[in-house]
Structure 1
Amino acid sequence: MSEVEINLTVNGRSVQSSVEPRTHLADFLREQLLLTGTHLGCEQGVCGACTVMINGRPSRSCITLAASCDAADIRTIESFDDDPLMVKLRDAFSEHHGLQCGFCTPGLLTTAYDVVRRVPDADASKIRKELSGNLCRCTGYQGAVQAVEHVIATNPPTAELQPGPHTQPRIGAASTVNTAPDTPAPTSANVSLPDEIKDGIKLERRIEIAAPADKVWDVLSDIKGIAECVPGGSITRVEGSVVEGLMTVGLGPMRANFQGAANVTFDPATQSGKLLGRGGDRLTRSNVDGEMTFQLHTTSADQSELELNILYKLKGPLAQFGRPAIVSEVADKILADTAASIAAKATGNEHASATQKPAGGLTLLWSALLGMFKGFFRR
C-alpha cells in the first residue's frame, strides 16, 4: 500500500513522517512517536480514552486518520505538564478521587479542560453531560464531576490552549494513495440516491411551532428558507427536487462532515412532503441513508404542529453512536432549535432566524438522523 507524507505539529514539535492511509492517529502517536499517554480502549470512537486536541479541539484519535491531520496541530496529554489550567484539574481530580485505575484519565482530563474553558458556568448536571462521552468503569463519575465543579468554582486560570478555526481534513499530497477496496463514503459528487429504505431505525416526532400553519408552510416549502433554520449545514447545489449539501454533526469531541444529497418533494394541497437521502463522511468512512415524511397540522390560529416520521440506516464507525436513545436526545434539541427558527422566520422575526447557521435542505433529515454528535467534533 502506498504511503502518504504528512507534516504536522505534535506537542509543539514539527513532525514529518510517512504513514499508510489506514493508520489511525492514535496508533501513529503511540507507535511512531511513543506518546503512550494517549490510551486505546474500544478503538471504535466510543470510550473516549484516546481523546487528544486537534487544532485546539478535543477529538477521538482512534478513528481519526493520521493522513487527515496533515498541517494540523496535535496536543496529547504529555504536552499539558505545565499548563496552569491542567495543573489545577489534575490536583482537583486527585483531591476529589476522580480516578482509580487511571486508564480513562488522560481522555477525561482532556475533555474536562475543554469543558472548563468552553462552559465556565456549567453546573453538575451540565458537567456530567459534557463528560458522558468518556467512559469510566471505576469511579462512577461522581469524583470527576466534583473535580470539574471545584475548578470552575475557584477562579480557574485562562486556558493556554484555545480552539483553532474549523478546517476540512486534508490528505498529504506528497505521495499517491492506493484506492482501498472498501466503498468510499459518498459525496455530493458521486452520491446515488436510494430508491427506498426497507429497514432501519425509526424516529417519530411531533414538534410545536409558534406560528400559523400557512406561514410555516411557506418556510417549509422553500428549500433555501428551511435551510436557514437548521443549524450545522449548508447547501452546495439545488437542481429540481434534488438538493446537495454538507452537514456537520458532532457528539462530545467527535465531529463528522456528512456530504451528500436528498430528493425533496412537497404536496401543497396536504401541506406534507418527503425527503429521501444519502450522505457520508470521508474521514470516518461512515454512511447514512435516510427517509423522512413530514405533515404540517393546524392546532390554532397562531400555532401549528409538524409531524415527522424518520427511517434511517447508519453504517461505519459512527454507527457506534447510533443507538436510538442517543439519537433521540440530540435530535430533540436540534428539532427544538429548528422549530424556533421556523417560527421566527414565519412571523417575520428575521433577526431571530438569522442566529442559526445556514443549513442545507437535506440537513433537517440529517440533523434528526445524526443529531447524536453535539460537542465532538464541533464547537
Structure 2
Amino acid sequence: MLLKNEFELDADLDRAWALLTDLERIAPCMPGARLDGRDGDTYLGSVRVKVGPIGAHFTGTARFDQRDDAARVAVIAASGKDPKGQATAAARIHARLEPVGPARTRVLIDTDLDISGRMAQFGRGAIADVSNRLIGQFVSNLSTQLVPADTPQQAAAPLPPPSREPEPEPAGLNAVDLILPVLRDRYGKAAVGVLLGFLLGWLVFGRRR
C-alpha cells in the first residue's frame, strides 16, 4: 500500500536535510524504534509494537538506496520481521525536502508499505490515519533536535560514571492508543466497541490455538 505524509520543520533546508539523513539521530525520535548499530551502509535496528497486551518485536535493516544531496531527495529501503509472531514488514520510503521560507522546510514522504500477519487485517484507511498520528509524534520528538544554532549552550555537567546496567528497551508503540481515536473519528463509538470485542475474543480464543 502507498502512504503519503507531509510535515514542516522549523529549520532551513540545509539543517533539516542534515538531520533527516542522520538515522542515528532521528531513530530515537520514532516511538518504539531503536538503532542497534550498522554494518557498512546498512543500519541495524528494531521496532517494538504493542496492541494492548499483545506485543511484536520487529528486527531488521535499513539502508539508503538513493541519496541526492543537491536535490534533497532520499530513498530508504527497510525490512524487518517478528519471528515469534510470524509477521513481516517491508517499506520503500521516498523523502523529498523543499524550502518554505528562510528558516522553514517542508518534508514530503511517500511510503510503499508491505506488511503481513495480524496487523495486515487493518484496512489501508485505518493504517494511513495511524501513520499520520505516528508522524505527528515523530515530528514532535524531532523538534527537540532543532535547537537554534545561535542559542547559547550551558556548560556541560560532568558525565556520570558508566553504568553496568543494560540499556533499557524503548517503550513500545501501542497501536491501540493510535487506532482507537481513528475508529472513533471515522465510524463513531460503536466501532471502538467492535475493536475491543475483537481483541478480547482473540485473547480468549485465538491464543488457545
Aligned residue for 2:38? 238
Q: For residues 27 and 107 of structure 2, what CA distance do their matches in structure 1 show?
A: 16
Report the AA paired with residue 175 of structure 2: F
Contact (CA 8 Å) 1:271, 1:296: kept in 2 or not? yes
Within 5 Å, give how 1:255-266 maps onto structure 2: 255-264=55-64, 265-266=66-67
Q: How far does residue 301 in structure 1 lie from its aligned partner after superposition?
A: 1.6
Identity, in percent, stands at: 20
Residues 240, 208 of structure 1: CA spacing in aligned structure 2 closer, same or farther, 3 A cutoff?
A: same
Unaligned runs of 5+ in 1: 1-200, 351-356, 360-370
Within 5 Å, give how 1:63-142 maps onto structure 2: none
Q: For residues 372 and 315 of structure 1, what CA distance do their matches in structure 2 show?
A: 18
Contact (CA 8 Å) 2:63, 2:76: kept in 1 or not? yes
Aligned residue for 2:90? 289
Q: SS state of the match for residue 29, structure 2?
A: coil
Aligned residue for 1:205? 5
Q: For residues 98 and 80 of structure 2, what CA distance do their matches in structure 1 show?
A: 29
- Alignment deviations for residues 158-212 of structure 1 (CA, whole Å, 9 cap, x no partner): xxxxxxxxxxxxxxxxxxxxxxxxxxxxxxxxxxxxxxxxxxx000111122222
Aligned residue for 1:277? 78
Structure with the higher fraction of residues in helix conformation: 2
Mapped pair 1:305 → 2:106: yes
Match of 2:143 among 343, 351, 354: 343
Q: How far does residue 344 in structure 1 lie from its aligned partner after superposition?
A: 2.5
Report the AA paired with residue 78 of structure 2: G
Match of 1:316 among 114, 117, 131: 117
Contact (CA 8 Å) 1:255, 1:373: kept in 2 or not? no
Q: SS state of the match for residue 84, structure 2?
A: coil
Q: For residues 94 and 126 of structure 2, what CA distance do their matches in structure 1 show?
A: 21
Unaligned runs of 5+ in 2: 154-167, 179-209
Q: How far does residue 285 in structure 1 lie from its aligned partner after superposition?
A: 0.6
Match of 2:175 among 342, 355, 373: 373
- Alignment deviations for residues 89-116 of structure 1 (CA, whole Å, 9 cap, x no partner): xxxxxxxxxxxxxxxxxxxxxxxxxxxx
Q: For residues 358 and 335 of structure 1, what CA distance do their matches in structure 2 show?
A: 21
Q: Which has the higher contact order (CA 8 A, sep 6+)?
A: 2
Q: SS state of the match for residue 11, structure 2?
A: coil
Residues 346, 240 of structure 1: CA spacing in aligned structure 2 closer, same or farther, 3 A cutoff?
A: farther
Q: How far does residue 324 in structure 1 lie from its aligned partner after superposition?
A: 1.2
Match of 1:249 among 20, 39, 49: 49
Report the AA paired with residue 266 of structure 1: R
Q: How far does residue 372 in structure 1 lie from its aligned partner after superposition?
A: 8.4
- Alignment deviations for residues 259-312 of structure 1 (CA, whole Å, 9 cap, x no partner): 111222422111110111211112211111111110011111221111001111
Q: For residues 130 and 98 of structure 2, what CA distance do their matches in structure 1 show?
A: 24
Q: Figure out how many residues of one structure are paired with residues of the other and give that number.
A: 159
Q: For residues 67 and 169 of structure 2, what CA distance do their matches in structure 1 show?
A: 21
Q: For residues 283 and 309 of structure 1, what CA distance do their matches in structure 2 show?
A: 29
- Alignment deviations for residues 19-71 of structure 1 (CA, whole Å, 9 cap, x no partner): xxxxxxxxxxxxxxxxxxxxxxxxxxxxxxxxxxxxxxxxxxxxxxxxxxxxx
Match of 2:19 among 198, 206, 219: 219
Q: Which has the larger radius of gyration?
A: 1
Q: SS state of the match for residue 228, structure 1?
A: helix
Contact (CA 8 Å) 1:227, 1:358: kept in 2 or not? no
Residues 262, 336 of structure 1: CA spacing in aligned structure 2 closer, same or farther, 3 A cutoff?
A: same
Report the AA paired with residue 216 of structure 1: A
Q: SS state of the match for residue 175, structure 2?
A: coil
Structure with the higher fraction of residues in strand conformation: 2
Q: For residues 311 and 250 of structure 1, what CA distance do their matches in structure 2 show?
A: 22
